[in-house]
Structure 1
Amino acid sequence: MSGPLINKFVVVGIGLIGGSLATGLKQRGACREVIGISRTPQSCADAISHGVVDRAYTSLREVASELGKGDIIFIAVPTLAVTAVLKEIQEVIDPAVTLTDGASVKGSVQKAAESVFGKVPAQFILGHPIAGSEKSGVTAANPNLYEHHRVILTPLENSSPEHLQQVTAMWQAVGAEVLSMSVEEHDQVLGATSHLPHVIAYSLVDTLAQDIGNPNIFRYAAGGFRDFTRIASSDPVMWHDIMRANKAAILASMDLFIDNLSRLRASIEHEDSEQLLRVFSRAKEARDDFTQMLAQRAVHKRLN
C-alpha cells in the first residue's frame, strides 16, 4: 500500500466489531488516524489505553467539523441503536463523508436511514461483516478478526459508486472478501444461517440450566456441547436487537426448524429407524459438503 487508504476512520461503538476493524486498519497502516465514539467516558478511556483508537469522544459533534472527503464513519452499535446515530449524523456530518455500518440486519438499518434522511443517502453503504466472537467489549478487539472472512455489502440503486469503492477497499485492507447482495436476500440468508443457530443455542442452554434441574448437567457435558453452545455466550443485548430487527425472517426459519424437529421427535417416538437414518445421513452429507467447500476455499486463498 503506497499510503493510507483512509484519512480519518471514525468508529461509533468501540466493541468487538468496531474495535477489531479499527485495530486492523491501524496495524496495516490503512488510515492516518482512528477516532472512537462511545457514550461512556470509561469506554473512551479504555479504547485509548488498549491502543484501539488514537483519541475518543462521547459524541460525533465533537469531531464533525474535522470530517470530509476521504474520511469514513463506521457505525458499530446494536441494531436498534442505529437510528439515534443516524440522527446525529444527519445533523452534523458532511455529505462527502463515507458512511457504513456492521449491523447484522440490513432491512432495519435501511428503514432507519429512510426515517431519518427521507431516503438512504448516497454516501451510506450498508454492510455486514460475517465474523465475530462470543467475546464482547473493547478488550476483545482483534486486528485479524476479518482476515479470510466475508463481508456482505448491500448497496442500493442510489448508492454512490465512489463511496461503495471506498468501503470495499476498506474491508479488503483488513483481509476480508467482499460480496454484494440485496437487503432482502441478506436478511433471509442470515436469518437462517446465523440468527436461527443463535436462537437454538440460547434456548438449549437456557433449557438445560433452568428447566431440567440436574446440578450435574454441565459437569458431564462433552466437547460437542461446548462447541455447539459457544455462541450462547454472545452479547445478549446485541442478539436481543437482532431478533427484533429481523423478526420475519427468523420466525420463518424457526417454523421450518420446529416442523422438522417435530417430525424427528415422532420418528424417535415411533422407532422409525428408516426415517432416522435418512435424516441423519442427509444431514451428515450436507455438513461434509460444507466442510469440503470451506477447505477448498482455504486452499484457493493460500494459492492466491
Structure 2
Amino acid sequence: MTREIRHLVVIGTGLIGGSVALALRRAGCVGRITGVGRSAENLQLAVDLGVIDDFSHDVAQAVADADMVLVSVPVSASADVFRAMAQNLPADAVITDAGSSKQSVMAAAAEYLPNPSRFVPAHPIAGTEESGAGAAFAELFDRHWCILTPDEATDADALARVRSLWEATGSRVMQMDAAAHDEHLAAVSHLPHVAAFALVNAVRKSGGDDPFRFAAGGFRDFTRIASSSPEMWRDIAMCNREALIAKLDALITELGVLRAAVDGGDADCLLTEFAAARAARDAWLLKYGDEL
C-alpha cells in the first residue's frame, strides 16, 4: 500500500526530481512539495507547471518540516547537501536519493547525516537527455527499474517508506548491494555515456570543413546520450571511477581487436566479432525487451 507523504522536499528540481514530484501527485500520495535549487527561474517554472508548491534556496530551511526528502543532485554534491540539512532535519524524516552511483553517496550520508539509518539510497534507471523542471513528466519511471541499495544499518521503516515512494512513481523496485550496483551500472550506463562523448569528439576532431555533414540516423541514435549534462556525467565518472576504469579497459581491448582485424585485412575476425555482438544484443532484447 502506498504510504502518504505529508511534506516532500525535492533538492534538485530537474528532470528526475521534478518527475518524481509529478508522479507522486499523479498517485495522490503527497501533500505539500517544496523544491530546492539555485536557479530561481527554474524553480518558478516548476511552480508554474504544478511540479512543486513552493521553493527555497536554503536546504536547511526547506527540510525543517519535511517527513520525506529526495536528493536529486549531481552525486559529487551529495555531501554538501547532507551537511547542509544535518542540523535542521527532523528526527523521523526519511531521506532518499536518485544518484547513478551509490557507494560514494552512502559514504557521504554516513559522514554527515545525524541518523544515516534513515537514508535509503536509490537509483531510478530512467531519464532522457533533457534537463530542468520543464523536462519533467509523470510517466518517466513507469515500468522502469529503481534499485535500492540499503545496508545492514538501514532502518526498516525508512526502507518500507522509500520502497513505497518509488513504487508510487510507477517504478519496479528491487534491492541490490551497493558495490554490485556500481559495477553493473558502470558497464551498461556509465560506459555507454563515456563512449558516446568519445565518439562525438573523435568525429569533431577528425578534420574537414564539417565532419558531421553526412551523419545520419545511426550516428544520431548512437550519440543521443552525448547530449546529456556534461557536469552530471563528469561527477558520475569521478564517483564510480574504479568500476568505470575496468569497463573502459574492456572496451579499449575490444576496439584493439577490431583495429587489428581492420589493419590486417582479417575479414573472418571482423565477421566473428560482429556476429557475436549481434547475437548477444538480440538475446538481450528477446529476454528483456518488454522491460525497456
Indicate whether the TM-score tops 0.5: yes
| Structure 1 Cα separation of the partners of residues 87 and 40 of structure 2 | 22
Normalised to the residue count of structure 1, the TM-score between the two structures is: 0.92
| Structure 1 Cα separation of the partners of residues 267 and 99 of structure 2 | 43
Letter in 1 for 2:105: V
The residue that corresponds to 1:245 in the other structure is: 239
- Residues 140-198 of structure 1: per-residue CA shift (max 9 Å, x gap): 11111000100000001010111111111111111110011111001111111100001
1:234 to 224, 228, 237: 228
1:160 to 112, 134, 155: 155
The residue that corresponds to 1:113 in the other structure is: 109
Residues 1:256 and 2:250 are matched in the alignment: yes
1:277 to 271, 276, 282: 271
Residues 1:136 and 2:123 are matched in the alignment: no
Residues 1:102 and 2:98 are matched in the alignment: yes
Q: CA deviation at 1:58?
A: 0.8
Q: CA deviation at 1:267?
A: 0.9
**1:21-100 correspondence to structure 2 within 5 Å:** 21-67=20-66, 71-100=67-96
Is the CA contact (8 Å cut-off) linking 1:87 and 1:116 kept in structure 2? yes
Gaps of 5+ in 1: 299-304
| Structure 2 Cα separation of the partners of residues 65 and 250 of structure 1 | 37
- Residues 233-269 of structure 1: per-residue CA shift (max 9 Å, x gap): 0011101111111111111100011011101110111
Structure 1's 21 and 117: CA in aligned 2 closer, same or farther, altered over 3 A?
Answer: closer
SS at match of 2:174: strand
Residues 1:220 and 2:214 are matched in the alignment: yes
1:205 to 196, 200, 205: 200
SS at match of 2:90: coil
The residue that corresponds to 1:12 in the other structure is: 11
Is the CA contact (8 Å cut-off) linking 1:267 and 1:276 kept in structure 2? yes
SS at match of 1:92: coil
Deviation beyond 4 Å, 4+ runs, structure 1: none
The residue that corresponds to 2:117 in the other structure is: 122
Is the CA contact (8 Å cut-off) linking 2:12 and 2:35 kept in structure 1? yes
Is the CA contact (8 Å cut-off) linking 1:33 and 1:54 kept in structure 2? yes
The residue that corresponds to 1:196 in the other structure is: 191
1:182 to 171, 177, 184: 177
Is the CA contact (8 Å cut-off) linking 2:9 and 2:62 kept in structure 1? no
- Residues 62-109 of structure 1: per-residue CA shift (max 9 Å, x gap): 233323xxx210000111110111012211101210100001110110
Instruction: Point out the more displaced range, 213-222 or 194-203.
Output: 213-222
RMSD: 1.6
Q: CA deviation at 1:218?
A: 1.8
Identity of aligned residues (%): 38
| Structure 2 Cα separation of the partners of residues 218 and 271 of structure 1 | 27
| Structure 1 Cα separation of the partners of residues 55 and 147 of structure 2 | 28
| Structure 2 Cα separation of the partners of residues 58 and 65 of structure 1 | 13
Normalised to the residue count of structure 2, the TM-score between the two structures is: 0.95
The number of residue pairs the alignment matches comes to 292
Q: CA deviation at 1:15?
A: 0.6
SS at match of 2:153: coil
| Structure 2 Cα separation of the partners of residues 57 and 37 of structure 1 | 5
| Structure 1 Cα separation of the partners of residues 68 and 190 of structure 2 | 28
